[in-house]
Amino acid sequence: MEELLEILNGLHDDVDYENEEHLIDNGILDSLDIVTLIAEISDRFGVTITARDIAPENFNSASAMAALIRRLEEEG
């Protein structure tokens, strides 16, 4: 989680990632952020995020992203 927060803070350091639950719905993360985020997550965690995974429910909060990474790690 800490590593993920580090990546997220690198994108926007003025967002309260631990409590924000609508990163996508509220337009806080845009498509450039998502592309950057996916590249960094793949790099650091060694998981492959597919198009199917790129859905609001997986990216609306830091905890949802962490859950996605855990799931992909288990599947991998």
Partner 1 sequence: MRRKNVLSYLYEIVSRKPDKAAFADDEIALTFRQVFDLTRSVGSFLLDRGITRRPVAVFMKKSPREIAAFFGVIAAGSFYLPLDEEMPAGRIQLILDNVRAPLVICDESTLEKAKEFDLRGGEAVLFSEIACAPVNESALAKAYDAALDIDPIYIVFTSGSTGLPKGVAACHRSVIDYVEALSDILGFGEETVFGNQSPLYFDACLKELYPTLKFGATTYLVPKKLFSMPVKLVEFLNEHRVNTICWVVSALTMISAFDTFSVVKPETLKTVAFGSEVFPLKQFRIWREALPDACFTNLYGPTEGTGMCCFFRVDRALADGEPIPIGRPFPNREILLLDEEGKPVADGETGEIFLRGNAVTLGYYNDPERTADAFVQNPLQKSYPETVYRTGDLAYRNQYGELVYVSRRDYQIKHMGHRIELGEIEVNVNMLPGIKLSAALYDGERKKIVLFYLGDMDEKELGATLKTKLPRYMLPGRIVRLENMPFTPNGKIDRVTLKKRCEA
- Residue 73 token pair: 């790690």
Rounded-to-integer distance, Cα 64 and Cα 12, Å: 18
Q: How far apart are CA 45 and CA 23, in angstroms?
A: 21
* Positions 6 through 65 that interact with partner 1 (CB under 8 A): 13-14, 24-25, 27, 29-35, 38, 49-52, 54-56, 59
CB of 14 to partner 1, least distance (A): 5
5 lines the binding site for partner 1 (CB under 8 A) = no
Cα(18)–Cα(54) distance, integer angstroms: 20
Residues that bind partner 1 (CB under 8 A): 13-14, 24-25, 27, 29-35, 38, 49-52, 54-56, 59
